[in-house]
Chain A
């Protein structure tokens, strides 16, 4: 399975500089891989070869002239279909945007291309990023490249599968409650959710504005650090992006981890955690201890309330954000005799069942008479969860947990029960609510060969610390522990 993942950002650069290949040949090779594997995996919803080859040719011209190469020169990447790409169809996995072509690029896209990246196409995802298995896409589920009868995780399932199957060297996903980290765990690759505000969301189509973040999937920690160094940083087009300086992640990751204090919260190792996942993550933690980290047992007492809190906050915000899909300005319009009828028919036909369910739940939680009992209460519990993290980071430098309670489940296994599906995010939503960064790194596999993920949280803007620990773990063989 990993034989397909033959390229890293560094090896692309070396091959281009040594003239062993060209950016155009490389792009062509990746399109050939996509043509072979995508009919089975359904990871890509749209390809943009014209744009990709034009960019590849610019890189090749720079090489021919002996110009210095930007950090991602010629690197084939894939983009989750909730991130706007000028002139390239962007559907959010929804029928309501089936024909929508954005008139501008997201800032993250602009930065990737300015750094030389070659965007191959747009990847499949749960509709409006709402889901934990990619089965809520209006364009069919994605299959896990490691075990095609299983889900790749969600909602960034296509972006995770593309990198895991070697159909792109890196990809961008988005994480609202676990949508980068959980598919990273299920597909066996590193997957980073940056701090809230670390990466500009200009051009990201909104799901839940106090939670949504853009972050990378890669095959190595060095590659994750490289992509972060490109996409992180303030953007005047996104007032929620933070004016915090971006450290040199590539320097950070090689620092020794000796003496770092690692928090292990018992609340993440209780009932519902698959024993094989538990054993591997514990082995992963022991490995970091061998590397000189100091383990600190922790209690994060509000962990158990995170899913309930999340499904109020996220759906309330979604019900508001998705009010814009009314058939007036873009996307689907279904004819009605009155404006109201047009709204209702458009939304009925355009949205899938999970999106409708969440819009209704969010509308209910915000509606007159229920606001205090649900939304306000959830925002208060969210404060308690954020305090759990703030308290923990007084004592430790990072927190280690499993990424998900089980390995990838079978397609169709949880579609009948929305609540059971929500519980797949039980260890990831906490960090989403608190705004801190988190990564999932591969941490061995089950006896049946399914990947397991270990999650590392750090304090706000602590991506360097996370990547440093992840890199030490990778170097020590933790990925295949």
Chain B
């Protein structure tokens, strides 16, 4: 067993997910099965391998064909008058703010 009931509750708390009591065991056993499968990654020796941290082509030939150097754009101001449209979608707006339950006690 890779993952315990406590692990599931801890992860759910980190992810801000409320779980119903009956869901905890379902997720535990499913995550356990998935993590057991994923443990096959331990078979490989990756000690000298760099992690893949960007998506640009790896080999030189396609990299040059692809103009792989990242392009920097000019730092130009553009107007962004979307506040009203955005607040229209808010569940509880008090323009120009989003209203939420009180987070600071006096």
A residues adjacent to B (C-beta < 8 A) = 100-101, 103-104, 196-197, 210, 234, 236, 240, 242-244, 302, 304-305, 307-309, 311-312, 319, 323, 326-333, 336-345, 347-348, 351, 356-357, 359-361, 363-364, 367, 373-374, 376-384, 386-387, 390, 393-394, 418-419, 422, 433, 435, 459-461
Contacts and interface: CB of A to CB of B under 8 A. Distances in A.
Contact of B18 (A326, A337, A345, A383): A345
B16 A344 contact: yes
Contacts of A331: 89, 91
Contacts of A244: 66-67
Interface string B64-86: 01110001010000000010011
Interface residues of B, number: 55
Given A100-B89, A103-B89, A196 B55 contact: yes
Given A326-B16, A329-B86, A305 B55 contact: no
A101 B89 contact: yes
B87 to A, nearest CB: 9
Contacts of B71: 234, 243
Contact of B52 (A333, A364, A373, A382): A382
16 contacts: A243-B67, A311-B34, A311-B38, A312-B38, A312-B41, A330-B86, A330-B90, A340-B16, A344-B17, A356-B27, A360-B15, A360-B31, A363-B15, A379-B53, A390-B57, A390-B62
A230 to B, nearest CB: 21
A344 B16 CA distance: 5
A393 to B, nearest CB: 7
A323 B15 CA distance: 8
A101 B39 CA distance: 41
A308 B8 contact: no
Contact of B67 (A242, A364, A381): A242
Given A305-B41, A312-B38, A383-B49, A360 B18 contact: no
Contact of B51 (A101, A337, A383): A383
Nearest to B50: A383
Contacts of B18: 344-345, 347-348
B100 A361 contact: no
B94 interface: no
Interface of A is mostly: helix
B92 A333 contact: yes
Contacts of A356: 17, 19, 27
- Lowest 4 CB-CB distances: which A-B pairs, in order? A379-B51, A333-B91, A103-B85, A348-B18
Contacts of B27: 356-357, 360
Contacts of B49: 380-381, 383-384
B100 A351 contact: no
B81 to A, nearest CB: 11
B82 A103 contact: yes
A377 B31 contact: no
Given A344-B18, A357-B27, A460-B62, A332 B91 contact: yes
A359 B52 contact: no
Interface in B4-51: 7-8, 10-12, 14-19, 27, 30-31, 33-35, 37-42, 44, 46, 49-51
Contacts of B51: 376, 379-380, 382-383
A356 B38 CA distance: 18
A347 B33 contact: no
B95 interface: no
Contact of B59 (A197, A305, A380, A394): A394
Given A347-B16, A435-B57, A338 B66 contact: no
Give the interface centre of B27, B46, B65, B102 by most chain A CB atoms within 10 Å. B46
Given A356-B19, A361-B31, A364-B11, 9 more contacts: A311-B38, A328-B90, A328-B100, A329-B89, A344-B16, A348-B19, A377-B41, A393-B62, A394-B59
